[in-house]
């Protein structure tokens, strides 16, 4: 690993062969902004691949954005290439179909001949392997503020070609107060979680509310693609089993959370192929998967990726964890969502999804109105449960009428 100045790194990148090289960069809240800015200045054209990219990505002609999971930094951008893919298979996508020429990572400083990928492991080890196989470049932004995390986050410096030192604060999501609906839904979901369960929760207010409602449980474990400050709250409440490592693939949250994971032996960040493998998930004890959706239908199908036909996010790990949870002994796959979109003024429960399905065959669907039991019921009873316990009261009559047209034996 050679530590370079910005001008030196720019010269290296400007000399790259070929048109429009593909650049894989750390996503979520771990994007190395300084190193990416150097690359953007050095290359007239390139393809930029990132997961759940946040605001601030280069936005100019010559930059072609690629992702299997759309974040705010790519949403509604012209020319975006969206690749439908469950998160567990994105490493294979990079190895087989979208091989990178450059990988930009955001790491800790060097410790005993290694750096740590810190808050973002995810698909980066696979990207590094793929770029190594084709003789490309691995570039690290070394940041003293990046926590040193264990597991697959640890990377020998021999795997890095060039590094740029940059002392800049880590990004955190904007804190959002929990609304009454989220608190009610979180409480209902928490009722389905017993002591000793293993938790996977997605992103957003409902997962946060669920964790806040679980502080009275004991012996909980975490096996998830990601976690945030709610897990720190469980730890401080004594709800987590101290003998079981908190395991995920990436982390984002407050500065306090970043301090907690730094050199914490109880936290392991593993590559996506491990955390999101449904067979591995199925071996966790009583794994409860809690994910949200934009809408559900009477067939108990969930759409978590598209709004009015346009891509909003993607599969992420929802599909992986729904399947894994259903095969976990005592496991449960839960979809939790409010019954009404307040901004759009529409029901989140529809007779039949108009677009692609993200996941299906869940254990329960939960809204502020109640809990629908899906698994073990026939199709008509599933639809009745959704109408009676999930849907907003104002649309239940219409759902019954439309559901009968679709062949469900509904009453009400």
Give the Cα separation of 84 and 90 in Å (integer): 9
The SS3 assignment for 163 reads strand
Q: How far is CA 204 from the centre of its chain?
A: 10
The SS3 assignment for 40 reads helix
- The candidate with the shortest Cα–Cα distance to 35, out of 130, 103, 98, 135, is 103
Question: Contacts for 8-15 with beta carbons within 8 Å, 24 or more apart?
Answer: 9/35, 9/38, 9/42, 9/139, 9/162, 9/164, 10/38, 10/39, 10/41, 10/42, 11/42, 12/137, 12/162, 13/38, 13/39, 13/42, 13/43, 13/102, 13/137, 14/42, 14/43
Give the Cα separation of 331 and 361 in Å (integer): 13
**Please, which residues have CB within 8 angstroms of residue 31's CB and are 6 or more apart in sequence?**
25, 50, 53, 54, 56, 57, 106, 171
Which tokens is 104 given?
């930009």
Give yes or no for a contact between 335 and 366, defined as CB atoms under 8 angstroms apart. Answer: yes
State residue 127 phi and psi, 5-degree precision. Answer: -65, -40
Give yes or no for a contact between 269 and 146, defined as CB atoms under 8 angstroms apart. Answer: no
Give the Cα separation of 406 and 282 in Å (integer): 34
State residue 410 phi and psi, 5-degree precision. Answer: -110, 150
Q: Which DSSP string corresponds to 248-295?
A: ESEE---HHHHHHHTT-TTEEE--HHHHT-HHHHHTSTTEEEEE--SE
- The candidate with the shortest Cα–Cα distance to 170, out of 141, 211, 202, is 141
- Choosing from 120, 225, 273, 295, the catalytic residue is 225
Q: Is 168 one of the catalytic residues?
A: no
User: Beta 226-227 vs 102-107: how paired, if at all?
Assistant: unpaired
Q: What are the residue numbers of the active site?
A: 225
């Amino acid at each position: 690993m050679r530590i370079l100045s910005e001008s030196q790194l720019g010269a290296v990148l400007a000399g790259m062969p070929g048109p429009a090289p593909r650049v894989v960069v750390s996503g979520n809240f771990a994007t190395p902004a300084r190193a990416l800015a150097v690359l953007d200045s050095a290359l007239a054209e390139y393809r930029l691949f990132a997961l759940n990219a946040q605001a601030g990505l280069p936005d100019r002609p010559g930059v072609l954005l690629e992702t299997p999971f759309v974040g705010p930094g790519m949403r509604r951008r012209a020319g975006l290439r969206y690749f439908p893919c469950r998160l567990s298979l994105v490493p294979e996508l990079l190895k087989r179909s979208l091989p990178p020429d450059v990988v930009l990572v955001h790491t800790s400083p060097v410790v005993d001949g290694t750096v740590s990928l810190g808050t973002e492991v995810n698909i980066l080890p696979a990207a590094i392997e793929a770029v190594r196989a084709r003789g490309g470049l691995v570039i690290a932004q070394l940041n003293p503020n990046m926590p040193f995390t264990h597991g697959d986050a640890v990377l020998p410096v021999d795997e890095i070609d060039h590094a740029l030192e940059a002392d800049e604060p880590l990004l955190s999501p904007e804190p959002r107060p929990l609304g009454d609906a989220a608190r009610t839904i979180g409480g209902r979901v928490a009722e389905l979680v017993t002591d000793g369960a293993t938790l996977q929760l997605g992103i957003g207010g409902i997962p946060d509310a669920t964790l806040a409602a679980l502080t009275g449980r004991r012996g909980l474990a975490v096996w998830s693609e990601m976690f945030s400050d709610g897990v720190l709250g469980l730890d401080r409440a004594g709800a987590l089993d101290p003998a079981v490592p908190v395991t995920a693939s990436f982390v984002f949250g407050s500065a306090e959370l970043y301090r907690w994971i730094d050199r914490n032996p109880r936290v392991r960040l593993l590559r996506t192929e491990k955390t999101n493998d449904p067979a591995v998930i199925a071996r966790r004890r009583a794994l409860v998967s809690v994910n949200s959706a934009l809408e559900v239908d009477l067939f108990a199908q969930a759409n978590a990726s598209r709004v009015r036909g346009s891509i909003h996010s993607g599969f992420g790990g929802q599909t992986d964890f729904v399947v894994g949870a259903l095969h976990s002994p005592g496991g449960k796959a839960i979809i939790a969502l409010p019954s009404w979109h307040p901004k759009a003024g529409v029901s989140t429960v529809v007779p039949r999804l108009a677009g692609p399905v993200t996941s299906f065959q869940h254990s329960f669907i939960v809204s502020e109105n109640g809990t629908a039991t899906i698994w073990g019921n026939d199709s008509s009873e599933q639809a009745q449960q959704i109408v009676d316990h999930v849907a907003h009261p104002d649309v239940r009559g219409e759902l019954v009428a439309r559901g009968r047209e679709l062949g469900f034996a509904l009453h009400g």
